[in-house]
Structure 1
Amino acid sequence: MSLSPEQKKQFRTLGHQINPIVTVAGNGLSENVQLEVDRALEDHELIKVKFAVGDRELKKTLIRELCEIVEAELIQEIGNIALIYRAALEPNPKLSNLLRL
């Protein structure tokens, strides 16, 4: 699932209006966090995840791992926030950030 630079730019623009849905903190990528991110991606397709971990390298590793686990693509990473995307099987126009915004 490779996105074109134009698609990524469009998703970054849409991402400005989105608030983080999930926060990854001291417990790391627990099963509950993974399930919640997976559910949020299925509902919204484009989401922000906040990483409240102190170490920069740990944060980058966690972002990479999360994207691999939920089969999503990293669109942008700014500070402690990651913007990730995964196309929904059946997008809901009332929930999808791509169709709503």
Structure 2
Amino acid sequence: MHLTTKQKQFLKGLAHTLRPVVQLGANGLTEGVVAEIENALNHHELIKIKVPSDDREEKALIMDAIVGETKAHKVQTIGHTLVIYKASDEPKISLPRK
């Protein structure tokens, strides 16, 4: 599934009021953190993740790894915050048509 620009804009609007559900710690991206992100995605579908890193390249690599590991869609990044979306088996968010 590919998200259209209209669908991404819709998800950005929904994500605006959300608080980060997962925050990476000093150990970085571990299997436990990925499992927690998966659980949050299954429960919420749309989540924010805080990636505190001073190095831009490292932060981008971590965010890309999160998207790749979870097979979610990257909606947006703002500073240290990543917004991702993954539809669950029983969708809670109805996306606008393409």
User: How far does the alpha carbon of each residue in 1:38-97 deviate from its partner, in whole angstroms, 9 at most, with x for none?
Assistant: 000000000000001221110110000010001101100000000000000124xxxx4x
5+ long unaligned stretches in structure 1: none
Q: Structure 1 21/40 Cα, relative in aligned 2: closer, same or farther at 3 Å? A: same
% identity of equivalent residues: 37
* TM-score normalized by the length of structure 2: 0.90
Q: Distance in 2 between matches of 1:57 and 1:89?
A: 34
Match of 2:28 in 1: 28
Contact 1:41 1:86 in 2 (8 A): yes
Once the two structures are superposed, the pairs formed by residues 73-84 of structure 1 within 5 Å of their partners are 73-84=73-84
User: Match of 1:64?
Assistant: 64
SS at match of 2:49: strand
**1:25, 1:53 within 8 Å by CA — same for their partners in 2?**
no
CA deviation digits over 1:5-63, x for unaligned, max 9? 00000000111110000001321110110000000000000000000122111011000
Listed as ranges, the matches of 1:5-44 within 5 Å are 5-44=5-44
The code of the aligned residue for 1:72 comes to: A
- Counterparts of 1:49 and 1:59 in 2: how far apart (Å)? 12
Provide the secondary structure at the position in 2 that maps to 1:27. coil
What RMSD in Å do the two structures reach over aligned CA positions? 1.2
Aligned to 1:20, what secondary structure does the other structure show? coil
Runs of 4+ with deviation above 3 angstroms: none
Output the TM-score relative to the length of structure 1: 0.88
Contact 1:73 1:84 in 2 (8 A): yes
